[in-house]
Structure 1
Amino acid sequence: MLTKFSRVKVLKIYNSTVMHWSESAALSQKHHPNLMMLYLVRVNMTNGELPAGLLSDDFPQKLLDIEFCSTNLCTLPDDFDLKWPQVASIYFEASDFTEVPAPLARLAPFDLSLAMNPISIIPASVFEGQVGFLHIGGTLFTELPESVPEMSPSLVLRVDNTNITFFWDWIDPSLENARTLVIDAYPILAANSPYCTDLERIYDGQQTSFSASRHKTDSVILLNASLENWPVLKATVSCEPWPSTWYPIEFEDAYSGL
């Protein structure tokens, strides 16, 4: 039946359980050439896995906004990176991932959110390539990878609602690039983190340095608490709170009447 909706542009599944979604009913370029947005919100899937209907080899070419929020998804197939688009917004938020799946790290989508998943280690690969927006707020990691050999040249990074206390120097070139671009966004969003607690105390004159242990490869920009560096810090880091997920789930619940 789903294959008959060739003109559909937006598909949303809300507050549901997907027991079975077969390959014969898969989203595909052949049957859904106009599909641009896919949302699965408060959805459970069998075994916490993507159904076959979302893994077509003929994936819709215009489907570049894919958002999962509050699901039981916990794993991705090994060939996931060969099926889904890299130049896309892909959000797996408030789900059950305990690690960043290897195929997702290989895909490294331009706009990726893993917010509110119980993930404790963030691999370097998700910061590489052409990633432009990365949201790992509300996860369990305490520090970023020490080395990122091929850092994305421009990145907006959300680490709010985490226990991050410092940043490594591999992030500095991206921050320098951000200062040369005209973008209406802070490169770093870190509200409700120990780092922002330190930063606010520094601005208030309650301390003169960051409390994290120092390393030889600390960020020169983000760990410099001198008064001369305050304008850079204030233009680079936002400590203002944001909704925990990019997907507006509170609005969705109110609108859909849950």
Structure 2
Amino acid sequence: MKQFFITPSAGKRLIAHGILEHPDIKRVLNHGILTIIAGTTNGYIAEELLKSIGEDDFRHDGFFRGITVPPSFNHEKIEKMRESFPGDIIIRDGQWEPGKTIFDVLNEIGKGDVILKGANALNIKKRKAAIYIGHPEGGTIVASLQAVVGRRAKLIIPVGLEKRVPGDLDKIAAKLNSLEAKGPRMLPVVGEIFTEIEAIKVLSGANAELVAAGGVSGAEGGVWLLVSGSKEEVQKAEKIIDSVSREPPYTI
């Protein structure tokens, strides 16, 4: 067994590498519709997936709708970036369709197609995620659920362990959605959770568990993972984690 520290940005890159090796992603990447809904973690995933089909020009900068920044951040910069929003990433039968969003292809997404949507809260123990809602019609997650629940598309939720919340997400959402509450609403969703832990498993075969967290000088939000398995699996995991460990912080 060996412990490793992973920063939030390194975790995003690790998740992206893991998603690239996910069986459902490999399948749909060649045959079907893969929708990557804009978000910070999904930006890293989009980079890796597009690179795998020969599209090297995409950069994750600006690939988001809602985003959390410090109170001192210049919000005018975010608004300017929204003006040049590139759309979600739609890959149909291995071909990228630039400029489209999930709303453009929603009625075409069907059984076996895959939607990647990030989250704002994660209950690790219950394997459940929740998403902040800012749009009065429910935003991209409500649109996604039309295809997931209505037509059996698959929802995968790539989310970093930094988003962990110990409480009951259903009860939290009930409070945030109440008449008395202010700010974003929340929707708990059912889908396949994919964190740094799942990425390590897919990429190396090793098991990982969260054992500690936090730090300073850029390590804020980072996590300590205890990785176990055969000698070969742990060595492979170490090599993979080392390859992303110096990923620069996400900036806009």
TM-score of the alignment, normalized to the shorter chain, above 0.5: no
Q: Whose Rg is larger?
A: 1
Structure ranking higher on relative contact order (CA contacts 8 Å, 6+ apart): 2
- Give the helix-richer structure, 1 or 2: 2
- Give the strand-richer structure, 1 or 2: 2
